[in-house]
Structure 1
Amino acid sequence: MRTFQGVEELRAVVGEDLGTSSWITVDQKRIDLFADATDDHQWIHVDPERAKGGPFGGTVAHGFLTVALIPAFGWDTFAVEGVSMTVNYGMNKVRFPAPVPVGSRVRGHSKLLDVTDVSGGVQATIGGTVEIEDQPKPACVAEVVLRYLF
């Protein structure tokens, strides 16, 4: 884990990689719980028997489940001390180049793209990539916008 002693130390590394998280296994239980939480029970996610004959040969994670893992990957990769809180402010340019088949292991990679001043703190734009183990294409690429407040 990379730890920054305040936002000025973070600002000094704009353009650098922040690190890569540990692997997380995306099992059917996680997919089903996400489906229940979001009321998105499309068969390609929650019906293993039907999904065997579908386009992916089995169930796959929801795209929004994949993007929802990005904050956990960030907490596992880097921290900024000396702030009162960190809040998700939004996302830019979210894409899902490859599906995440059930049973896959995924991890996040972060790169600091920008840090700008905002009222009461700073806003950081993080390039986030969700990688699938042994797959050439990422599951998700996005720009995550965080606010570090004083």
Structure 2
Amino acid sequence: MTININARDLQQYVGTETGVSRWFTITQQQINQFGEATHDQQYIHCDPDKAKSSPFGGTIAHGFLSLSLFSAIAYDAAINLENTVMGLNYGFEKIRFLQPVKVDSQVRGRMILADVIEKRPGQFLYTWDVTVEIDGEQKPALTAQWLTMTIVGE
């Protein structure tokens, strides 16, 4: 659940986990649609029969598919400032794909607010440490340091 706070209280959350998202099931249909949208239809993603003979034993999600869940993860697990006008993706400092996500796996995200800076009045640059976990696996699918910008109104 998203935490709704006033901007003056932001610094209290630096260094803390702000939330954990719900579980998302990664289906073959999603993988295929992502492959079509990104023009990446490599067999390890989109050909279940051929992928059976791969080292993964079946299809796996694109790493960028797992990364693309960050917006949905943030809706569940990030801080929401009162009077937010918009939130923007600002980029990444670091991304590491650590383990493949096999088809029909469930993943969820954990968010830690690593830093926040008020760049201009009403413009807050967040640095998030995000981990995407795979249900039943010790090693996460990925870790990233994600930058977002929140703009608040009066």
Superposed pair shares fold, TM > 0.5: yes
SS at 1:12's partner residue? Answer: helix
Alignment partner for residue 126 of structure 1, among 125, 128, 145? 128
Q: CA deviation at 1:34?
A: 0.5
Task: Report if aligned partners of 2:19, 2:76 keep a CA contact under 8 Å in 1.
Answer: no
- Does the aligned pair in 1 maintain the 2:90–2:147 contact within 8 Å? yes
SS of match in other structure, 1:64: helix
Q: TM-score, normalised by structure 2?
A: 0.93
Q: Per the alignment, in what secondary structure is the counterpart of residue 53 of structure 1?
A: coil
Q: What amino acid is aligned across from residue 34 of structure 2 in structure 1? A: F
CA contact (8 A) 2:2 2:75 kept: no
CA contact (8 A) 1:3 1:81 kept: no
1:74-113 mapped onto 2 (5 Å cutoff): 74-78=74-78, 79-113=80-114
| Equivalent position SS for 1:124 | strand
- C-alpha distance in structure 2 between counterparts of 1:34 and 1:61, whole Å: 9
Instruction: Provide the identity percentage.
Output: 41
Q: Compared with structure 1, are the counterparts of its residues 82 and 11 closer, same or farther at alpha carbon in structure 2 (3 Å cutoff)?
A: farther
**TM-score of the aligned structures, taking structure 1 as reference length:** 0.95
CA contact (8 A) 1:5 1:82 kept: no
1:56 aligns with 2:42: no
The aligned counterpart of 1:43 is 43
CA distance in 2, matches of 1:119, 1:109: 28
Bigger CA drift: 24-33 or 1-10?
1-10
| Alignment gaps of 5+ in structure 1 | none
Q: How many residues align?
A: 150
**Shift >3 Å, 4+ stretches:** none
Q: CA deviation at 1:5?
A: 2.1
**1:4 and 2:20 are equivalent in the alignment:** no
Measure the CA separation in 1 of the matches of 2:8 and 2:96. 30
Query: What is the root-mean-square deviation in Å for CA atoms of aligned residues?
Result: 1.1
Deviations, residues 82-136 of structure 1 (Å, cap 9, x unaligned): 2211101001210011000001000000000000121351100011100000001
Cross-structure match for 1:136? 138
Q: Do the aligned partners of 2:2 and 2:76 also contact (CA within 8 Å) in 1?
A: no
Report the AA paired with residue 3 of structure 2. T
Gaps of 5+ in 2: none
Q: CA deviation at 1:9?
A: 2.0
